[in-house]
Homo-oligomer: A and B are copies of this chain.
Amino acid sequence: MNSSIEHKEKTIFAERMNNIPRSFIREILKVTAQPDIISFAGGLPNPLSFPAKEIREATLSLLTEESSSVLQYAVSEGYLPLREFLAKRYTDQGIPVSPDEILITNGSQQGLDLCGKIFLDKGDRVLLESPSYLGAIQAFSAYQPEFHSVTLQPDGVDTTELSEILWEHEIKLFYGIPNFQNPTGISYSEEKRKKTAELLQQHATIFIEDDPYGEIRFSGQHLPPIKKFLPDQTILLGSFSKTIAPGLRMGWVVAKKEIIEKMIVAKQACDLHSNFLSQRIIHRLLSEHDMEWHILKITQLYSKQKDFMIDMIRKYFPEEIQYTNPEGGMFIWLTLPLYMDAYELLEEASKQKIAFVPGQTFFLNGKGHNTIRLNFTNSGETEMEAGISKLGRLFYRKMVEV
């Protein structure tokens, strides 16, 4: 009896469930929740950056004055004054956006799912940077596309390779993170932004521009989003997870009205609308406080943490370990000698209560066995020095073993 039930269960699920990879990072988060672990694994913002007091005050007054409305069902597209705020902010930055070109989502992750839902038929071609954000691979996988990937260079995507791929294959969506990419920390130069836009325009390929870290810049000049050079074909995803708090799960999509209209229908089918209390809290925060000042504080905090980690890497890692030195965001990317294997290293590191993400997780095709993603926003200096020095000793030991 039992075995027939077993058999039934193996076949009852949809075909797409064979395609969605389970997130290694979400799994490792459970391990790293233990307090004695030094974790460079997650992409967690530093809780010191949460505007808890401001959120508390906003919540208190909303629930005192407007509880009937903030606790009630709301429209699927999101709270209009919040969309107006975001539209004005883009417009002030030289990217003209109207409120009906914005949809409020549950973090930018839902933006990715909605892009998959409205655009992808089975077998449609999706192009990713190599390596790419695992959550995007998961979101798109559910719609069973054919994935392609294009090499990421220190100044952005390899545009020669991009051009070849666009000619060879009919690519429907290209997904990229031009600012302080997850996992590598790499940013596109202005030239690469323009060239990417030009190529995508020629081939009528939609660009999904994920920008959760764009506001967290430590050095260098702010660069315009690719949407500026490719306004009609770009879907820009934003998030409050890094500038306010990820637990509120709040982000947004910017796209042409015709695309947003389709997304609203898809959003209705997914969950009617995003948490309305949190939308109202965030709007209150943005209108009553100087958020630019708050973002500046976060940037200074993370910049200091990044500098400290780079110092520790220089102090404790062998010269053979290459690392990126990002101008913003939350991650440093290590490239180890080819004979090292990051999964093997993780096994040894975790015995010493240190965690990181092996870079292979971010590749589609098993590449990157000798790469590692390190997060620098979620550990203090003492832990960071202890963790990096132990990792350094591990690397030296591996070099001796060869």
Chain A, range 216-237, C-beta contacts under 8 Å to B: 232
In the assembled complex, the CB of A6 is this many whole angstroms from the nearest CB of chain B, namely 9
A19 CA to B56 CA, complexed, in Å: 42
> Pick the contact of A135 from B56, B172, B272 — CB < 8 Å?
B272
Chain B CB within 8 A of A42 CB: yes
In the complex the two chains form, is B113's CB within 8 Å of A271's CB?
A: yes
What mask results when residues 196 to 224 of chain A are scored 1 for a CB within 8 Å of chain B, else 0? 00000000101000000000000000000
Chain A, range 258-275, C-beta contacts under 8 Å to B: 258, 262, 265-266, 268-275
Q: Residue among A52, A70, A113, A271 with the most chain B CB within 10 A?
A: A271
Neighbouring B residues of A248 by C-beta, 8 Å: 71, 275-277
Assuming the A-B contacts A44-B73, A72-B44, are A117 and B16 also in contact, with contact meaning beta carbons closer than 8 angstroms in the complex?
Answer: yes
Chain A, range 126-158, C-beta contacts under 8 Å to B: 135, 138-139, 141-143
In the complex the two chains form, is A121's CB within 8 Å of B249's CB?
A: no
A55 CA to B138 CA, complexed, in Å: 34
Neighbouring B residues of A141 by C-beta, 8 Å: 269
A369 CA to B110 CA, complexed, in Å: 36
A213 CA to B53 CA, complexed, in Å: 36
A8 CA to B248 CA, complexed, in Å: 36
In the assembled complex, the CB of A52 is this many whole angstroms from the nearest CB of chain B, namely 3
Chain B CB within 8 A of A76 CB: yes
Chain B CB within 8 A of A367 CB: no
Neighbouring B residues of A69 by C-beta, 8 Å: 47
> Pick the contact of A64 from B56, B122, B258 — CB < 8 Å?
B56
Chain A, range 235-288, C-beta contacts under 8 Å to B: 241, 245-249, 258, 262, 265-266, 268-278
A-B residue pairs in contact (CB < 8 Å), sample of 28: A9-B258, A12-B172, A12-B206, A14-B117, A14-B121, A17-B262, A17-B266, A26-B268, A29-B75, A44-B73, A45-B72, A47-B69, A52-B63, A52-B71, A55-B67, A56-B64, A60-B60, A106-B270, A106-B274, A109-B271, A110-B270, A135-B268, A138-B265, A139-B270, A247-B275, A248-B275, A248-B277, A249-B275
Neighbouring B residues of A74 by C-beta, 8 Å: 247
Q: Residue among A15, A17, A268, A276 with the most chain B CB within 10 A?
A: A268
Neighbouring B residues of A26 by C-beta, 8 Å: 75-76, 268, 272
Chain A, range 60-94, C-beta contacts under 8 Å to B: 60, 63-64, 67-76
> Pick the contact of A59 from B47, B63, B268 — CB < 8 Å?
B63
Interface residues of A (CB under 8 A from B): 5, 8-9, 12-17, 20, 22-23, 26, 29-30, 42-45, 47, 50, 52, 55-56, 59-60, 63-64, 67-76, 105-107, 109-110, 113, 117-122, 124, 135, 138-139, 141-143, 172, 204, 206, 232, 241, 245-249, 258, 262, 265-266, 268-278
Neighbouring B residues of A47 by C-beta, 8 Å: 67-69, 71-72
Top-5 shortest CB links A-B: A52-B67, A47-B68, A71-B245, A247-B276, A106-B271
Q: Residue among A15, A117, A276 with the most chain B CB within 10 A?
A: A117
Neighbouring B residues of A55 by C-beta, 8 Å: 63, 67, 71
| Chain B residue nearest to A52 in the complex (CB) | B67
A283 CA to B269 CA, complexed, in Å: 26
Neighbouring B residues of A29 by C-beta, 8 Å: 73, 75
> Pick the contact of A268 from B23, B44, B266 — CB < 8 Å?
B23
* Seed contacts A44-B72, A55-B71, A141-B269; 14 additional CB < 8 Å A-B pairs: A22-B268, A50-B71, A50-B72, A56-B59, A70-B247, A71-B245, A71-B246, A72-B245, A105-B271, A106-B270, A107-B272, A109-B271, A113-B271, A249-B273
